[in-house]
Structure formats: structure tokens, C-alpha cells
Amino acid sequence: MRLLTAIPRRREGWLEAILLPAVALLITHFLVPWDPLLLHQPFPWLVLVPLLIALRYEFLPGALATLVLTTASWWHPYPTDVLLPAAAGTLLVTLIGAEYASAWRRQETRRALQEEITTTRLRQLADDLYVTRTSLDRLEQSLLYQPVSVRSALRELRDDLRRRQGVLDPPLLRKILYFLNQLVGVQVAAWFSWEAKEPRPRQLAALGRVSEWDGGDPVARAALSEGRSQQLMDLKLERLHHYLSVHVHGEEGHSRDLLCIEDMSFFAINRESMKIIEVFFQYLCRYRNACIRARELLSRWPDCPVDFASDLLQLQSLATIAPEVGICQRYLFHTGWEAREIVRWIENLRRDLDMIWIHEEGEYLSALILLPFAGPVAAEGQRTRVEVEMQKHCANHWEAAFVRADFLPVDTRPAAEQIAHWLEWRL
């Protein structure tokens, strides 16, 4: 059963707005034929019908329910001095219920968006921790014929994605597949893209002698039907049909990325290796999506971190329905080694959800710190904390380089216009 706070379908709302008051009038006509609107009863119970409709679907369906109730005056004439005050009171109750429903829905939407942003950042943090652990376990593994760490190889892939503004072209995908070959022993694999209107996925890159797409494979069928990655060992199949695992990113009805693993080194076929593949696949896909969303900002300011731009865009969408979604704290310094030393300390003081962007232009260096869901009091507390730490560790640098600090709220203006305002605000 749906709660009163659920967002209903449009047709269902209008249908209930007609049927519920009609059924109520039918019942009262048989029970109290001399007063079907119950206007002469101790309590006008029929006013609850448009009130409930307004609470579920806001004002217009509630007003329609009120109009349906007033049709009782056609076959049971009420005096005007009784009917008009009752109709006005019912309409007033409907307006109050609709206003409450609208406020509640805005609050629910704001909470949902806050949870989405927090969940995204926590997922990114979990991915980063997993990458760090894997990197330490496999440090100095030979990739591209030189000893490098997994973190440095992943950073190179991220930089390639950033330069391509989120475009996963075949050369980059082949590089990713080679990375998985060296990391977890993937021998035969293919990367597919499946657009919403296409009958079958399109192969973008392959490693080894891959076969044609097999949509009837049990692993692929389970992955597509459930909308999440699947492994052969989790499905408890008696034999291998085609794929060891199929990794899925994207929702049904939208563009999807598929990574299909056909063969791996014998000793690499285990749950740990499959988990590594899944984490790196989802990590790169999400980073690609962030690059695409922030494409305009990244093309204008190449030094802007992808996560900073992505979080700003999400907060701006939240700002259309809720006040005080976040604050950008800007520190302005004179360019020089003292400013860079201060910025290094500020980066160490960053909280988990905060994003920092260091932008150097001409004689000024700006440190923009995006504080999601922070108000002026929280921002002032963060500034006090930073300045106290600076006085402890680099007071001389602070006095030499610091120019000013500002609090700049996140609002609904275009992101490029807002960032330009933040960066061009001078003394």
C-alpha cells in the first residue's frame, strides 16, 4: 500500500478525485437522504474527502473533488446561505492540505537528493579505499614495461578520461582491458555499449579472441534482467556456457556499458579477482559519467577537479527546491611558494564531503572549498579551524600570502557563470 507521501501517477489522481467524492455522495444519499452533504450534522465528514485528495495530489485534484461534492445541490437543493459557506470552507481546507502536501513533497525531494549526493560520495570513498588496498597489495607490479603502482596506473586512466571529456573511445578501452589483463589476469574480454533503442549491444574494444555477443548466456541474461553485474560462480551453474562474468553499468531503458569476461588465468579465477574487476569497472564508469556532466566546466577550466564540478552541479539541482544547499569558501592568496605551502595544509584539513579546487591565475591563487549542506555558521567554523591551524604550522607564510576569505553560497545560476563570479571577484 502506498503512503500518503508517495508521488502518484497523474491519471490515478484525477480518477480518485472523481470516484471518491462520488462514492461518498452515493453512500450518504442512501444513509441520510435528507442531508447528503452532511451539512446539518455535528461534523461535516465529507470535507475529509477533498482534504485527503489534496494531501495526496495537491490542489487541483482536491478542488475537483470539492466540485464533485457540490453537484449534490443539483438533485438536493440547499439554501444558498448554507451551501456557499460550506463550499468556501471546504475549498479553504483543500488549500491548506495542498500547501502542506507541497511542502512535504519538497522536503522529501530535498532529503532524497541529499541522500543521493552522500551515497555517491561514500561510494567514491569506498572505491578509493579499495583501490588503495589493492595498490598496496600489488605495488611494483609491471605495467607497460616499467614498475608502477596500481594507483598511478588508475590515475593515468582517469587523466585520459578527463582529457577526452568522458568519451570512452576504443584506444582508451583497449588500455583499460590491458590494465585488467596485467592486474587480475583477464585473458579474453570485450567492452560493449548498448544504447536504449538498439536491438543488441555494440562492441567497442576487445582483448584476445572474443566471440560475438551472446545474449542467451545465463550469466548475461541474469545480469541484464536484474540490472547488476553477475558471476558464473554466484549463479551455481553446472558448466561454463560463454561468460565467466558480465559487469553492467546503467539502467534499463538508458545507455548501458557491459564488460564481458570470457577467460582468465586459471589461478586468477576467484571471488577476489572478480571483485577487483567490478570495483574498477564501476569506478571508471562513474568517473566517465561525472566527466560528461561537467564537460562544459572542464573545457573552460581544465584544472577544475571532476569531483568538484560534479558535486557543484548536483548541489545546484538541489538549490532549485531547497535553500542553503551549500557554500563555497574561497581563500585568495598572492601567488608564490608560501601560498602553495598553505594550500597543502588546507588540503590536509579537508573533510570527507568537502571538495577543493586550487586555481592559479596571474598574481592570485584561489583555493575554492565546496562545503555541501553547510550553512554560514558551519562555514565560519571551518574558516576558524583553518586559520587556527595555519597560525600553528605556517604563520609567517599566512601573513605573507593571505589576501582575503569569502563565503559564496551555491545558488541556481548557471554553473559556469557562478564559477566565473567566484574566480573573478577581486579586491
The rounded distance, in Å, linking the Cα atoms of 11 and 3 is: 17
Which CATH topology does 138-293 take?
Beta-Lactamase (3.30.450)
Q: Mapping DSSP to helix (H, G, I), strand (E, B) and coil, where does residue 400 land?
A: helix
Cβ neighbours around 137 below 10 Å, total? 11
CA 24 vs CA 48, 86, 273: distances in Å: 10, 16, 63
DSSP of 59-115: HHHHHHHHHHHHTHHHHS---HHHHHHHHHHHHHHHHHHHHHHHHHHHHHHHHHHHH
| Sheet-wide strand order for 230-231 | 202-207, 186-194, 256-264, 245-249, 230-231
**What's the pTM?**
0.59
User: Is residue 329 scored above 90 in pLDDT?
Assistant: no
Banded pLDDT at 192 (limits 50, 70, 90): very high
CATH class of the region 295-424: alpha beta
Residue 147, beta-bridge partner list: 142
131 within 8 A of 150, measured Cβ to Cβ: yes
Nearest to 312, CA basis, from 112, 117, 108, 125 = 117
User: Is residue 92 scored above 70 in pLDDT?
Assistant: yes
Banded pLDDT at 258 (limits 50, 70, 90): very high
Banded pLDDT at 239 (limits 50, 70, 90): low
The domain locations on the chain are 10-109, 138-293, 295-424
Q: What is the pLDDT of residues 241-257, one digit of tens each?
A: 788 899 999 887 788 99
Two domains, one topology: 138-293 and 295-424: no
Predicted local distance difference test score (pLDDT) of residue 172? 92
Residue 258, beta-bridge partner list: 192, 248
Banded pLDDT at 189 (limits 50, 70, 90): very high
- Grid cell at residue 288: 566517465
The rounded distance, in Å, linking the Cα atoms of 404 and 329 is: 11
φ/ψ of 268, rounded to 5, equals -90, -10
The rounded distance, in Å, linking the Cα atoms of 13 and 139 is: 59
Nearest to 171, CA basis, from 201, 141, 191, 185 = 191
The rounded distance, in Å, linking the Cα atoms of 139 and 400 is: 41
Neighbour-count burial of 308, counting CB atoms closer than 10 A to its CB (0-12 exposed, 13-18 middle, 19+ buried): buried
397 within 8 A of 341, measured Cβ to Cβ: yes
pLDDT above 70 coverage of the chain, percent: 87
The rounded distance, in Å, linking the Cα atoms of 92 and 37 is: 17
User: Is residue 358 scored above 80 in pLDDT?
Assistant: yes
Average pLDDT, the chain: 80
Q: What is the pLDDT of residues 6-45, one digit of tens each?
A: 444 445 677 777 888 888 777 777 777 777 777 767 777 7
Residue 365, beta-bridge partner list: 333, 360
Residue 123 parent element (H or E): helix 80-137
25 within 8 A of 69, measured Cβ to Cβ: yes
- Grid cell at residue 344: 597543502
